[in-house]
């Protein structure tokens, strides 16, 4: 069975705190009364020394005895069970005790009057309001000084009453003063307690957040490292410990940064310490999915590293957060896919070459064939050529480069040939294809590869167009080099897809669901060919309006004599 709600466990912190408060409360009552009793005893002894007959004055003795009785009660009563407001009875009874002894001792022992300051201070320092404290002090002390006069009726004169007024006035003033100071003190203490409670609460919230953050950081599989502006690690989660351990040389559990085994994309070339992603992130660089390999041999792992610099309110660099994502499986899977594509392409190439060879041989004897058979063989040959080209592209892409051989050539002719081979397809699709390039445009390029690149762009401009649309091919020489533009009025490309269209096998989602054929290699091949010419290709597009690709190939400066 579970413990009943609200039952305090022995030794629990709240019990200890409550007991301590009770003990303090009791100690305050006893020590206050003890102080008065000590002073009372001194005053009484002084009185007895001055007037030894006081020992036989019953009122005097009764006052002292009452004080001692109150002291005894203070020491023995269970204060924790008595409501706090009853405590005021103690100083009030003290007034009576002092009043009795003072009335017997008379003016000759003035210290008895001063004893009244004790209960006055007690009342004023308790939680009663200043007005109440002053009123109680005034009434009690007036009673103390006037009652004896009233009891001895012969001395009750107006002058006698006025003579005695000084002490009550002083005691009322003291009550006011002490009450104000106590109030002020209490307010300060309450404010202090409130701010301590707020501090405790915010520390507790902070600790809870820290625990949550720690758990989240250790739960995610991504390694995270936070570094301050001086490059010191301020946070490293469990994932990052794993990444760090993977980079440690065998047998070295605590390597320094320079000793870590970090390699580039080829898995072999070490990355110099100051060019490593973490070093660059610490210098304030923001990294976006940089790839490195760590460790060696079969345990080598690949990490994709990103970082984001932190800045103070005034923009000063305050450190950086670096994330490490283990992409080993992904890269190995991509590698396996490339190997598979490459192997399959090789296996396709030989039978395809044979098929094409025999088709071409057969079509050379077209006149011997019935008309419809020749047409069917033409279709077979066209598709076999397409397949052969795809296989060649896959092999070239897998090899990572297209060998280009730039020579002085007439780009005007290259573009005219590319236009004429696309014209049939364009007109079949109901498109207008215009070649605005000059018929002769000398430049240093690989004419075959450039023709292939332009052909890819024209093919796309036809494929991703709409009936009635147009395609414009243009070219010129500028200060920067040879510029070729292929513009269409087709379906356009979504802006969020633009940065991916040159990626391997990328096809925009709308195209993927359409019947337009393609495998997503044409633009990659085009960009690779342009890149091999040390050129660049850019694209602008608007969804539903059209697309424009621009190729720029730098050209050698013309000879000084213009030849």
Subset of 254-273 contacting ligand ADP (CB under 6 A):
none
Q: How far apart are CA 290 and CA 265, in angstroms?
A: 10
The one segment of 66-74, 182-190, 319-327, 483-491 that binds ligand ADP by CB under 6 A: 483-491
Least separation in angstroms between residue 517's CB and ligand ADP is 7
CB 478 to ligand ADP: min, Å: 23
Q: Which run of H or E residues covers position 233? A: strand 233-236
Q: CA-CA distance, 517 to 127, in Å (whole number)?
A: 91
* Cβ nearer to ligand ADP, comparing 101 with 460: 460
Decide: helix, strand or coil at residue 287: coil
Look at the alpha carbons of 252, 331, 393, 487 in this order and tell me if their dihedral is positive or negative: negative
**Residues β-bridged to residue 326:** 303
Kindly state whether residue 531 participates in binding ligand ADP, applying the rule CB under 6 A. no
243 touches 328 (CB < 8 A): no
Q: Is 430 left (phi over 0), alpha (psi -120 to 50) or beta?
A: left
CA atoms of 160 and 153, how far apart (whole Å): 11
- Least distance in Å: CB of 464 to ligand ADP? 3
Q: What is the closest distance, in whole angstroms, from the C-beta atom of residue 561 to ligand ADP in the complex?
A: 42
Beta carbon of residue 454, minimum distance to ligand ADP (angstroms, whole number) = 13
CB of 409 to ligand ADP, least distance (A): 24
Give which of 488, 437, 436 is closest to 462, Cα–Cα. Answer: 488
| CB-based burial, 52-69: b 16+ in 10 Å, e otherwise | eebeebebbbbbbebbee
Which tokens sit at 500? 């991916």
Number of residues that bind ligand ADP (CB under 6 A): 22
CB of 348 to ligand ADP, least distance (A): 18
Q: How far is the CB of 380 from ligand ADP (least distance, A)?
A: 22
Q: Which is nearer to ligand ADP, 269 or 495 (CB)?
A: 495
Query: Least distance to ligand ADP from the beta carbon of 468, Å?
Result: 16
Helix or strand run (H / E) with residue 344: helix 328-364
Considering beta carbons, is residue 91 or 469 the nearer one to ligand ADP?
469
- Residues comprising the chain, all counted: 563
Q: Is residue 532 within 8 Å of 449, Cβ to Cβ? A: yes
Ranges of beta strands (E only) in 153-218 are none
287 binds ligand ADP (CB under 6 A): no
What sign for the dihedral angle of Cα 284, 285, 288, 291? negative
- Indicate whether 493 belongs to the interface with ligand ADP (CB under 6 A): yes
Residue facing ligand ADP at closest CB distance: 518
- Contact string (CB under 6 A) for ligand ADP, positions 320-359, x = contact: ----------------------------------------
Of residues 36 and 491, the one with the C-beta less far from ligand ADP? 491
The residues in 499-528 that bind ligand ADP, with binding defined as CB under 6 A, are 501, 506-508, 511, 518-524
Looking at residues 442 to 471 of the shown chain, list those that interact with ligand ADP (rule: CB under 6 A): 456, 460-461, 464
User: Which of 476, 437, 441 shows the shortest CA–CA distance to 458?
Assistant: 437
Specify the DSSP element, H or E, that contains 306.
strand 301-311
| Site track for ligand ADP across 186-225, x = CB under 6 A | ----------------------------------------
Binding site for ligand ADP (CB under 6 A): 456, 460-461, 464, 488, 490-493, 501, 506-508, 511, 518-524, 547
């Amino acid at each position: 069975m579970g413990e009943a709600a609200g039952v305090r466990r022995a030794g629990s912190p709240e019990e200890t705190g409550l007991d301590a408060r009770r003990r303090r409360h009791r100690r305050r009552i006893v020590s206050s009364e003890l102080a008065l009793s000590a002073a009372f005893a001194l005053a009484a002894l002084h009185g007895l020394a001055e007037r030894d007959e006081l020992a036989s004055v019953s009122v005097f003795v009764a006052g002292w005895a009452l004080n001692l009785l109150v002291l005894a009660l203070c020491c023995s009563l269970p204060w924790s069970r008595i409501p706090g407001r009853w405590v005021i009875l103690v100083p009030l009874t003290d007034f009576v005790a002092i009043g009795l002894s003072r009335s017997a001792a008379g003016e000759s022992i003035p210290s008895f009057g001063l004893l009244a300051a004790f209960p006055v201070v007690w009342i004023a320092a308790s939680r009663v309001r200043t007005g109440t404290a002053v009123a109680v002090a005034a009434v009690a002390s007036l009673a103390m000084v006037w009652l004896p006069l009233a009891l001895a009726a012969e001395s009750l004169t107006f002058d006698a009453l006025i003579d005695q007024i000084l002490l009550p006035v002083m005691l009322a003033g003291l009550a006011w003063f002490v009450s104000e100071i106590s109030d002020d003190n209490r307010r300060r203490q309450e404010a202090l307690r409130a701010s301590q409670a707020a501090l405790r609460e915010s520390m507790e919230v902070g600790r809870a957040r820290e625990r949550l953050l720690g758990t989240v950081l250790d739960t995610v599989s991504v390694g995270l490292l936070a570094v301050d502006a001086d490059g010191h690690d301020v946070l490293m989660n469990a994932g990052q410990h794993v990444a760090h351990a993977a980079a440690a040389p065998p047998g070295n559990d605590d390597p320094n940064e320079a000793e870590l085994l970090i390699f580039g994309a080829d898995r072999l070339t070490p990355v110099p310490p100051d060019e490593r992603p973490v070093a660059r992130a610490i210098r304030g660089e923001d990294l976006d999915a940089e790839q490195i390999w760590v460790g060696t041999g079969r345990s080598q792992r690949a990490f994709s590293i990103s970082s984001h610099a932190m800045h103070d309110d005034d923009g000063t660099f305050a450190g950086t957060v670096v994330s490490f994502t283990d992409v080993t499986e992904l890269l190995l899977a991509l590698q396996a896919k490339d190997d598979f594509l490459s192997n399959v392409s090789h296996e396709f190439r030989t039978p395809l070459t044979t098929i094409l060879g025999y088709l071409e041989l057969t079509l050379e004897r077209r006149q011997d064939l019935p008309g419809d058979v020749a047409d069917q063989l033409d279709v077979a040959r066209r598709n076999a050529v397409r397949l052969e080209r795809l296989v060649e592209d896959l092999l070239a892409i897998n090899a990572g480069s297209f060998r280009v051989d730039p020579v002085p050539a007439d780009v005007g002719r290259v573009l005219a040939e590319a236009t004429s081979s696309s014209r049939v397809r364009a007109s079949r699709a109901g498109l207008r294809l215009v070649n605005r390039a000059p018929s002769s445009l000398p430049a240093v390029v690989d004419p075959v590869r450039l023709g292939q690149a332009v052909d890819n762009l024209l093919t796309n401009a036809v494929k991703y167009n709409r009936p009635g649309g147009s395609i414009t091919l243009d070219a010129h020489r500028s200060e920067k080099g040879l510029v070729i533009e292929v513009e269409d009025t087709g379906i356009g490309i979504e802006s969020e897809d633009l940065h991916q269209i040159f990626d391997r096998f990328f096809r925009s989602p709308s195209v993927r669901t359409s019947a337009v054929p393609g495998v997503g290699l044409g633009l990659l091949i085009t960009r690779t060919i342009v890149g091999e010419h040390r050129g660049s290709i850019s694209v602008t597009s608007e969804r539903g309006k059209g697309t424009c690709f621009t190729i720029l190939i730098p050209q050698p400066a013309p000879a000084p004599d213009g030849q």
